[in-house]
Structure 1
């Protein structure tokens, strides 16, 4: 197959030859036409000469013995020789033109064939290029990136993450435990701050016989709140066996709320969350599958490890119980003891019926000694209807108030005074007969003395 450059060169040469041939043919035809016109004119002239000779013969009247009056010489042989040669030359030019046209047709056919071949080659090259591009795209898609888990890079990254998962999970567990420990340290710092603030009062309570006798103590502790039970609410009971009950029972398993005790339980809870059925020896599982649909793993871990279920609690206790668990009388006694003994101010103190809801034994054994303790440093005024406070308590002064016609009358004095003893007997003891009646009944049992 000829090269495109060779074909175009040949076509250019043939086109030039055809153009030159056409010019030569045109010149030949022009010469033939010119000579033909001259020949026609010569024939016309011959006719005119013949006519003139006829007219001249008629006029000369010499018997026509001489030569014609006019003579015209036409070299027809020369013209005919030239005409034959010129026509042969024109025919040769036509044959040459036909040959050039044939050669041009051959070159045009070769050019078309070459163009078709080039087009086919271009088409094949384009198809090959498209296949290469598709292959490159396919390879790129297969290689992919780490975000596409179905690609080679994604699968490689996934395998790498799987290999690194145990170490990463251990690091994350340690980080979560470290954060929890920091929260616990902050709570312990808060507990120590509270203990430091109340240290004087706590020391006094511990050293006071009156307060110890009454069972009054100052207590500050880090306590697990009842809210801990709600931590297990996020677990799916169908997938966790006894894990939920195990979580709820954590407060009963720890001896105290120190970090060592809590950390052991929290780490085991982590281990159970990561194993089937919440069993430490079970198969590994995705921790999120252990939870209810409306609970996320982040929320569950936060509710357990942020220690929001742990709180610093401090305050007074009576006989080891917090105020909220005491009876109304016990709460009143604790508060009265606080103001009477623990509160070291010297300003006057007014108590309104502190014996309310208390039995007389408690009044005599706990409340009266506390009033005596307070009276040593501050004026203490007690409003009461109980003889154990005023009489048995050896009040320095008894004040008796009465209201008649919307007016108060006040009498006061020591129990050693007759008038004071009289209204104390009537008001506090319920009159002399009532007092004697009680006394005689108790005297019937000598062993009570």
Structure 2
């Protein structure tokens, strides 16, 4: 009995040449040389092609010769398949019968193929019927040569050269139950000796072309148009299935008829097949006509070595002891309950510190010293990245952490991350600026109140004006009595008025000079502490910091220089006013007038009173001007606070417009919404005992809720005016300033991130669909290429969703990244066409492992088949059957999943 070979890494890409002739081939034999067979066998051995279809016309004699070399120890690690090349009718437009190939299961014996196949092939010539046996072919050749003594080998070649059969007869032979699952048929599609050649004939041969194609499993063609057409890409999958029975993969071989062509594919277009190098592996190409085969110069689906885990080494006495090799694509771990599936997956993840919280974490931790993970580049590095999604992890994210995930995904995009950092910086600037301005607003209010009180302390302006009129009336009466000195007194009064003006100016300059001297000691510009440059590279940060400090220092220097200039200007003005005062005091007319007032005591007293009253009036007017300036500044600060607070809305709308992404049907959307905290913040400061205050809070919140600048501005003005006019009833520990500072410095809007998929929002989806979308989010919006470890991704999904959504998704994603997942669902294993299946088992009475080790694993491909050994109850359970049989035995619905996969594109015979 032939040894059952298990390819532990599962289905891998290998070169296959399914059309290779040999020395002595019946037609066009170009192999020359005395030692041609040794040269031929050596050439195959040196080739990097793993599988060869040894081909000859209506014969397997040369295939058997190649096998004889293999049986003697040659052609190690090469799979040799018997490919019988046939000619069938009708003929093409070139007058050549259609070229069709029958590739047999190599476990069939020569006698079985002779009995079931060659003897049933019939050709009629000159009223005689010949089968395709060696004897009949020889007899046919001698008849054709009209030479009964024609040498046997030459006669057989002549017989083969003329032998052709009707496609209808060949179909009956192919349909025999004996060949079920043991025969694969390929047909050429060229215009010379293939199906396309029939199109050169009359249109009535199209049905014959369709029937010939229907009984074929694949097409011998490297033409890109043929490849796309037979995969349904030129028309549709349904049309190809309806016309030709099923989709057809295309393959191309070397078709070598001479030594220089052995292993040389036409135009270097090589047939790559992702399967075990077995007959069963070849059948996978039929079931997966697009994914399992490529015709290209280089190996398909390559991943960087540092992104692929090559194997895992387990070594703990009594627990596990083996190597598990991994495929670069999809690895599925299956087994019954508590068989070590999740234990293996979690132990790998633990080595990379990729575990937060899982069940039995302490146990997994205890195994960490007894597992080693090696990458395909040979390194055992645990600093490399992996992604691990433990059981229920995805559903937990869907339920509680979707917002965090969405933001992390968006910030994974460098452009969006930079915009988000700018957004945070702007918010921090606004917060700091508004807090400063609110403090300044209240300071201006305090100064205004102080100024009002100060003016009130000086006196009432209307009362002072009335008193001035009264004193002037007294003065006029006295002056009338001094009419002869009227001109002198009038001149004196004019000069006195000017002196009063000059003295007020003198005092004003003195105060301004003193204040400017104080300002000259201060820095006006300082670095904004809310702006951080730490996110920048060090060289950029240092350059900007240097530039900022340089600008600040230069600005402060410039301001101080201007203050110095103003001190000089005002000092000069002060000196000039002082000089004018002194000059005026020395004028003779002033002295004469003053003497008159001195001699007249009453008039002098009146003049003193008028002087004091006029000074008070001038002082009040000056203070009123100062108060007006303060009030204007107060209003400007208030408007600025409102403006900057409203800018929060612009900042939020701007970032919301950029926090959006789309990928393969999944849309990440963003909008702004009012935080719940606004009402809470108002409630914490304002007394709720008053109905008016409750209405006030509602009015403020409603304005914000409308998210328009007009409504928010109205709310802000209402809050500021009510607070500044002391119309708010506050709680004991609250103040108007603290309330306004808190409300206006804070941004009360937040980003609301959402996901749209297949017409639904994330929060409206069923739990299963939500979990699937979260998985897509985790993987599709990531630039990572590291391995993905997932424990039971099918959780919460029904079978329809698993097959329609999850399976399709995994099939796509495994091309980009290595996936290792635990599953109980056969549709994921079979439907996603897992390249490697790892079967897990825990030692037990009815499920023994080798050497009674606690956990044991066996790995291989879907195509690995071996009938269950029902008598080997004492042998380790994992060795009792093939991988496919384990899948069907362990996973409920496994056999149905295989049938669905095999019938998916219309296949029923294999």
Of structures 1 and 2, the one with the larger relative CO (CA 8 A, separation 6+) is 2
Say which one has the larger Rg: 1
TM-score, with structure 2 as normaliser = 0.25
Normalising by structure 1, we get a TM-score of 0.47
